[in-house]
Amino acid sequence: MVKSYDVLVAGAGPAGAAAAAVLAGRGLSVALLDRAEHPRPKLCGGLLTAKSVDALARIFGLGLADLTRRGGLFHQTPQYLFLHRGRELLRGAAAEPFRFVDRPAFDALLTAVAVARGAEYLPGRTVEACDAAAGLVRLRGGGELAARFVIGADGANSVTRRALAPADLERGLWRRNLAAAIEVELPVGSGPGQFPREVLAPELHVGSPAAGYGWVFPGPRGPKVGICGLRRPDRDGRDFGALFLDFLLLLGVAEPEGVALHGHPLPYGNALARPASGRLLLAGDAGGFVEPLFGEGIFYALATGAHAASGVLHGLKHGEAAAAAEYERLLARTVRPELVWSDRLRWLLFWAMQNIGAGPIRGFVKSAPAALAEMVHGRRSFRLLLGKTWEWGEGVGPGLAGIPGGTAD
Ligand SMILES: Cc1cc2nc3c(=O)[nH]c(=O)nc-3n(C[C@H](O)[C@H](O)[C@H](O)COP(=O)(O)OP(=O)(O)OC[C@H]3O[C@@H](n4cnc5c(N)ncnc54)[C@H](O)[C@@H]3O)c2cc1C
């Protein structure tokens, strides 16, 4: 007999945990399944913006003390640096700090909140196929689970996404805008493959790859160095791995060829126009919801996971079509304008850097450094730097329980 739930959430990253925490908090029977078991590795810079911290309090009832004690929060600073091909463009301080989490601990904490609210956590279950019309998920090794709604939060290589109608999959757009990302965490030192200095403030490096950027972030065990970009041929035709080695050399890493590289795809401008079909709603990377200028994905995973949950709450009362409509309404009011306008801004900057040089980006970052940081933190919109407030749907709000003994400050 097929076990049945009100809602099945596939993938226990930030998007899936947010959806499960909201829905279990409303007393629904929720299964949160994942092919891995927490704490599991996740390639990520772990940068949390101010809007992410707000979202964690609102969706999970988690405060900074909880994040520090159990959520892998290890560093915070208002300082940041912008560089173009190694040359400093701007050294600034934001009004609010940038915070850094270690993703395995962070994701484990979010799942623990969903479980504390009543979700059933099913690690070690790999989704092999999904039937969006029937609300069925087939698992590797046999077995099926059924639900009134399925939330697909299984990341950039989503299997649940394949259950969308072919037209809604937007395959060409997805392939064109799926970025490659490489990130390594290096020990500080002067030897081969070591990073030559301590890193206390996040650095954003532009100029290479042509349609992307590089970063150096404080990491829990040593600096994290990464690049992300669309696979467009660079002017000099170098491949992505070679560009990363160039970047390590530019940063002063000796003999970078010996560094073991780790890569993961990043949706980078391919948010699906119709991320819901039948009983299925896609959230986070699975739906392509990553901000396409700086590649911020954690906030958008939290927001779309919570919005999908609100859509489901609506759909349980008014039917499948209402779930999709409510999800889209919330996306259109909050997330989509940011993705559309950051996409416009990035193409302008990429074009200017390739054709005019670093001047325009220097002018841009120097003209309004405070506004730039407020834009990243979500206090201003990517849309013409207008003030931005984030709206949340049904089921999301203050007063929800966090982890037992936790404190939402
Ligand atoms: C190199 C790199 C650096 C990044 N740095 C940052 C950063 O500093 N700040 C930021 O905000 N964003 C960053 N991002 C983006 C961010 O990591 C993602 O956008 C975010 O993790 C998306 O969350 P998610 O819940 O949608 O997916 P994920 O976090 O990928 O979670 C998906 C979950 O689904 C599970 N899963 C996958 N397939 C299956 C299956 N078939 N069956 C069952 N379970 C499955 C996985 O095990 C995983 O637990 C970075 C991304 C990369 C690649």
Domain map (residue ranges) of the chain: 3-74+101-174+271-359
Pocket-testing residue among 102, 154, 157, 376, ligand 1, by greatest number of atoms within 8 A of Cβ: 154
**What is the pTM for the complete model shown?**
0.97
Of all atoms in ligand 1, which is nearest to the CA of residue 285? Answer: 26
Q: In whole angstroms, what is the distance from residue 202 CA to residue 215 CA?
A: 7
Give 226 Cα–ligand 1 centroid separation in angstroms: 15
Asked if the model's pLDDT at residue 236 lies above 70, the reply is no
- For the segment 217-245, the average pLDDT, to the nearest whole number, is 86
Distance of CA 347 to the CA centre of its chain: 20
Asked if the model's pLDDT at residue 173 lies above 80, the reply is yes
Place of tokens 């940081």: 373
Q: What is the CATH number of domain 3-74+101-174+271-359?
A: 3.50.50.60
Q: In whole angstroms, what is the distance from residue 37 CA to residue 51 CA?
A: 27
Smallest CA-to-CA distance from 228 within 291, 149, 144 is with 291
Smallest CA-to-CA distance from 337 within 274, 383, 370, 302 is with 383
Pocket of ligand 1 (CB under 6 A): 10-16, 33-36, 42-47, 126-127, 153-155, 159, 181, 183, 226, 264, 266, 284-286, 290, 295-299, 301
Give 297 Cα–ligand 1 centroid separation in angstroms: 8
Give 43 Cα–ligand 1 centroid separation in angstroms: 8
Place 237 in a pLDDT band, splitting at 50, 70 and 90: low
Asked if the model's pLDDT at residue 364 lies above 80, the reply is no
Q: In whole angstroms, what is the distance from residue 88 CA to residue 385 CA?
A: 24
Contact 406, 68 (CB under 8 A): no
Place 124 in a pLDDT band, splitting at 50, 70 and 90: very high
Ranking 70-84, 120-134, 364-378 by mean pLDDT, the lowest is: 364-378
Asked if the model's pLDDT at residue 242 lies above 60, the reply is yes
Tell how many helices (H) and how many strands (E) occur in the chain. 12, 16
Averaged pLDDT of the chain = 93
pLDDT of residue 59: 97
Contact 396, 306 (CB under 8 A): yes
pLDDT of residue 235: 59
* Residue pLDDT, tens place only, 13-42: 999 999 999 999 999 999 999 999 999 999
